[in-house]
Structure 1
Amino acid sequence: MNVNIDPSQKSDSEVQSWLEKLGPGLITGAADDDPSGIATYSQAGAQFGFNMLWTVIITYPLMVAIQVISARVGRVSGHGLATNIRRHYPPWLLYSAVLLLLAANTINIAADLTAMGAAVNLIVGGPTRVYTVGLGLLSVFLQVFVPYRSYVKVLKWLTLVLFAYVATVFVVRIPWHTVLATIVFPHISWTNDYITTVVAVLGTTISPYLFFWQASQEVEEMRAETGQRALKYAPDHGASTLRRIRLDTSIGMGFSNIVAFFIILTTAATLHSHGVTDIQTSSQAAQALKPVAGEFAFLLFSLGIVGTGLLALPVLAGSAAYAMAGTFNWRNSLALKPQLAKRFYGIIVVSTLIGLVISFTPIDPVKALYWSAVINGVVSVPIMVLIMFMAMNSEVMGKFVLSMRLRVAGWAATCAMAAAAIAMFWLMLAS
């Protein structure tokens, strides 16, 4: 007897839309445009105008390649990057990579919290430091006490705030012919400032914490689905899972780079064209927009800083926690209750609190932030080399070692980052 099944009665997995499949890649891409990234992109647009737009175009395929590879390492092996480094490489390599990640992430957290507090102050007035502390504590509370599945939904919705930076373009005048001509034929200045800014843009776009986060989130997604195993041990699910990773990552990184493009475009068309070329903070960029682009552009830019900060803080603190847990073989998962993974959640709390403390010291977290973006651009190179070797290692990846296409793309991304860093050091020594 034939039985007709109503399509509405199909299982959730059968009718799951492409949007619901988006997760680690989307959140990783959106978190890349944190307040510190906004500051770097704003400085690039204000200082060099449209001549820096080409950087976020070429970073898209590079970013997709290395993030797809990082995600594959996590999903295929069933472990995050730090755990795989611990299992297959010398301890000094692991400790070096994780220490560099922790230092850069903590500085990033401090700068992001400071920018978020300043943005709230710009919008409503009042005590900036109180806002900074409140936002830091809110982020910790959400990460520690909100169940993982619910928290991921919150993070997905927070990605919508990034459209604020797309919206600002519609309230300012853009000379599109000039923009297109500059993208195709940019004026590349072989000066120390220009090349250092290129490295900073690359470093804030292709950052080590994003590698660690997305690999670990793929492991979280695997654990969250009943009956799922690492692809290394369940290869039958490989084709569909790897397609989902490609889709998720391509959309997430595209989202990230489109927003970065519009931030540079907005600040170039407004600030640079009006002679404002020295922007040190994301909130300063928002404030500078007010007299030249109007109240609405200012408000959108400011609200975006707060929203992207709330999105980025969990990624910064969480990637540090995953790295430490993988290094010392601690239990780790945002799906676990705090009492079952005390050390893991402890790193999230401590890294956020240290960031808060730094934001109250005389140390200028924003200057440190710009240089941390530069440092990220340099540090990314050896970590990317390590990821490439892991992804080509059959002991880590089983039958899912990288295809020739992904090898070429991954090494191209690594070489591009290395070339920019070498050019920067060369110009520094020559000056």
Structure 2
Amino acid sequence: MAQQSLQEVHSSVVTDNKKNTFRKLLSFMGPAFVISVGYMDPGNWATDLEGGSHFGYQLLWVLLMSNLMALLLQMLSARLGVVKQRDLAQASRESYPPFVNTILYIFAEIAIAACDLAEVIGMAIGLHLLFGIPMLYGVCLTIFDTFLLLFLMNRGIKKMEAFIIGLIAIIGGAFILEMIFSHPQIGALSRGFIPKIVDTDALYIAIGIIGATVMPHNLYLHSSLVQTRQIESTPKSIRQALKFNFIDSAIALNLAFFVNAALLILAAAAFHSRGYFQVTEIQDAYQLLSPLLGTKWASVLFAVALIAAGQSSTITGTIAGQIIMEGHLHVKMKPWIRRLITRALAIVPAFGCIVYFGENSTGKLLILSQVVLSLQLGFAIIPLIHFVSDKYKMGEFVIGPWLKIGAWFIAAIIIALNIKLVIAELIKWINQMHPAILSEFFAIGVAASAGVLLLYLIVHPLLRIRQKA
């Protein structure tokens, strides 16, 4: 028998004993809220702050577009989990040759490391700002998230989801008050939803926003968490589960969009409108908010929301790391060992970055982590689209033509933006490192290899059909 995804909580939530539709819907609510914290994690804060302070309200449309992308992709991820009872990592291991699966695993781990780097640093920054705890100590304290996660998971998946929803309520409440304090300009805010890219700097931030919003590890996570709901394997039950999971996703991701939009609007109203165009560090935002908005609560609420975002995101990042390791490698470890390994993969790089680059560079590290996430997106999205488009795998629940076109359109946008970013960054890097010929060849080789892998993932179904013929 195949190993179940998140075996300790698989099918642990009963959904069939509910007396009415509303109660049944409530039994399915939760997975998307856990997912949504990845869309409002500290990595988003860095990109939203820089986008709002530098360009005002002009990149709000990028957030809206990213949210629509996220909703469609998370819906596909949930569909894979509900219909096939397989998460994205498991499906990749079963569908691709071992060598390709190993590379996909490595890329997924890099994405988890980049995500966790942002979350651990964000959590440490929040603790430093609110309680004066040194950054390095704050990073080390995040190891206790592992034990909190073990406690919550042992109490049941619904308890963990309730804890996460509570943290989301804190974040949302904080930003509602921040909006009241900042008095945004409604006219300029409305115009921010009109698509417009001003320059290459805006493109870099826009890609960072996409990377911070549509996160690859969430695609793995969602396809696993929906399997915690116990459903019958009948078409009627599966169809109902898909409907309820869509409602769950729509509500949760729109709440995440509100938080991201509120953060960008806050930066535009508090900083850009007052001539502070280069607020890229979370620490700077914290210091400036109270004097600019005229209340000490502006900074306090900002730090509280940051800690809540970091805490909730580190929990979900750790679970995603477990899913990726188990699914791609088919390894079996005790849960606490797996989670300690995943947490160490985040703490060690964060600790090293702070020691080497200093605490003042954390804002740039956060934005870089989100760009890395965006670069990895194609390697998660393309397999996902192929899996849910495969009639042999999905049967009557295969996605329709219009949904397939929309998914491939999103994948094309993300890949095209990433290619443009990679070329620009390679040119910049080569110009700076001109004497280092070997470094140039290495960077170009890595980029070319990634391009070949993307091409392989796109044409893989055609190759498989040809092999069968």
Alpha-carbon distance, 1:197 to partner = 0.9
The aligned counterpart of 2:128 is: 121
The aligned counterpart of 1:80 is: 87
The aligned counterpart of 2:240 is: 240
Verify: 1:198 aligned to 2:199, yes or no.
no
Amino acid at match of 2:398: V
The aligned counterpart of 1:60 is: 67
Matched residue SS, 1:87: helix
The aligned counterpart of 1:270 is: 270
In structure 2, the CA distance between the partners of 1:256 and 1:354, relative to structure 1 (3 Å rule), is same
Alpha-carbon distance, 1:194 to partner = 1.2
Kept in 1, the 8 Å contact 2:150–2:336? The answer is no
Amino acid at match of 2:145: S
The aligned counterpart of 2:224 is: 216
Kept in 2, the 8 Å contact 1:195–1:423? The answer is no
Kept in 2, the 8 Å contact 1:41–1:264? The answer is yes
Deviation readout 1:289-321 (Å, 9 max, x if unpaired): 222123122111111000011110012121111
Kept in 2, the 8 Å contact 1:140–1:348? The answer is no
Amino acid at match of 1:183: F
Kept in 2, the 8 Å contact 1:30–1:252? The answer is no
Alpha-carbon distance, 1:368 to partner = 3.2
Counterparts of residues 126-165 of structure 1 (less than 5 Å): 126-134=133-141, 136-146=142-152, 147=154, 148-149=156-157, 150-163=159-172, 164-165=174-175
Counterparts of residues 21-420 of structure 1 (less than 5 Å): 21-134=28-141, 136-146=142-152, 147=154, 148-149=156-157, 150-163=159-172, 164-184=174-194, 187-189=196-198, 191-219=199-227, 221-222=228-229, 225=230, 228=231, 233-293=233-293, 294-331=295-332, 339=334, 341=335, 344-355=338-349, 357-358=351-352, 360-363=354-357, 364=361, 366-420=363-417
Which sections of structure 2, spanning at least 5 residues, go unmatched?
Answer: 1-15, 429-469
Matched residue SS, 1:361: helix
Kept in 1, the 8 Å contact 2:38–2:213? The answer is no
The aligned counterpart of 1:7 is: none
The aligned counterpart of 2:459 is: none
Amino acid at match of 2:56: G
Kept in 2, the 8 Å contact 1:317–1:351? The answer is no
CA separation in 2, counterparts of 1:89 and 1:206?
Answer: 24
CA separation in 2, counterparts of 1:245 and 1:391?
Answer: 16
CA separation in 1, counterparts of 2:29 and 2:399?
Answer: 22
The aligned counterpart of 2:439 is: none
Which sections of structure 1, spanning at least 5 residues, go unmatched?
Answer: 1-9, 333-338
Alpha-carbon distance, 1:87 to partner = 0.5
CA separation in 2, counterparts of 1:138 and 1:377?
Answer: 28
Amino acid at match of 2:162: K
In structure 2, the CA distance between the partners of 1:258 and 1:48, relative to structure 1 (3 Å rule), is same
Alpha-carbon distance, 1:356 to partner = 5.3
In structure 2, the CA distance between the partners of 1:300 and 1:398, relative to structure 1 (3 Å rule), is same
The aligned counterpart of 1:336 is: none
Coordinate RMSD, CA, aligned: 2.5
Normalised by the size of structure 2, how large is the TM-score?
A: 0.79
Amino acid at match of 1:302: A
Amino acid at match of 2:367: Y
CA separation in 1, counterparts of 2:426 and 2:128?
Answer: 41
Kept in 2, the 8 Å contact 1:40–1:200? The answer is yes
Matched residue SS, 1:268: helix
Kept in 1, the 8 Å contact 2:130–2:300? The answer is yes
Deviation readout 1:44-88 (Å, 9 max, x if unpaired): 111111111111112222111111001111121111111100101
Greater Cα offset, 63-72 or 139-148: 139-148
Kept in 1, the 8 Å contact 2:120–2:346? The answer is no
CA separation in 2, counterparts of 1:429 and 1:112?
Answer: 27
Alpha-carbon distance, 1:251 to partner = 1.3
- Following TM superposition, the consecutive aligned residue runs of length 4 or more in structure 1 with deviations greater than 6 angstroms are none
User: Which has the higher relative contact order, 1 or 2, with Cα contacts under 8 A spaced 6 or more apart?
Assistant: 1
CA separation in 2, counterparts of 1:110 and 1:200?
Answer: 15
The aligned counterpart of 1:4 is: none
Alpha-carbon distance, 1:178 to partner = 1.9
Alpha-carbon distance, 1:279 to partner = 3.0
